[in-house]
Amino acid sequence: MKNSTLIKGTAAIAVGAALLLGGGGTLAAWNDQATAAPGSIVSGDLKIGLNSAPGVWTDRAGTDITAKIKDGTYLVVPGDLLTFKQDLDVTLTGAKMAANITASGANAANGFVGDSVVVSAPVLTLGATDVVANPLTTSKKVTATITFQFKSGTTGRVDVNKTYNFNNVEFTLSQVLQAGA
């Protein structure tokens, strides 16, 4: 029986080899290839910068008080409403580019009693009045506006000789996934 199994195994190997060599299978040496040229991928850009013109402080009447704010000679009193405007250059280039602008560094009290002042979060506009909604999807110049109001209801000697530090206001542009992208 051992010889029978050995003979059958040898016969199977011989038949397989004969089929491969004799045309039942292939040992073709042909091959071919094609080279694609899909091009180059180039990245876009996302950047925010202060416009070359410095920001401007105005009082409730719209009078420019920037120099007095910077040198510390403008002293606020209860009832004052001051507005700071800074132009920002926003660069957004790339397919499906979208980004949000946020600001930080203008805290609620920052040296004053919290009930005495109201500091707005920066409002971003195009031109004089068109409020910019996040996310932005194209490059543009926007104006950031922050208001500082020393409430008229402040009484006694609350917040006399205090300082509100605006030296750390920072504008951040952060990429987000564009809707439908």
Does 102 reside within a domain?
A: yes
Residue 154 belongs to a domain: yes
Range of the domain at 49: 45-175
Contacts 24+ apart (CB under 8 A), 109-113: 110/164, 110/165, 111/162, 111/163, 111/164, 111/165, 112/150, 112/159, 112/162, 112/164, 113/154, 113/158, 113/159
Q: Report yes or no on whether pTM surpasses 0.85.
A: no
* Count of structural domains, the chain: 1
Q: Is there a domain that residue 84 lies in?
A: yes
User: Tens of pLDDT along the chain (181 residues)?
Assistant: 556 666 666 666 766 666 555 555 556 789 999 999 999 999 999 999 988 788 899 999 999 999 999 898 999 999 999 999 999 999 999 999 999 988 877 766 677 777 888 888 778 898 777 888 889 999 999 998 889 899 999 899 988 998 887 777 788 899 999 777 6
Coil, strand or helix at 21: helix
- Does 39 fall in a domain? no
- 50 located within any domain: yes
Q: Is 160 inside any structural domain?
A: yes
Token duo for residue 110: 């920052």
pLDDT the model gives residue 99:
94
In a domain, 33, yes or no: no
**CA-to-CA distance for 155 and 59, rounded, in angstroms?**
21
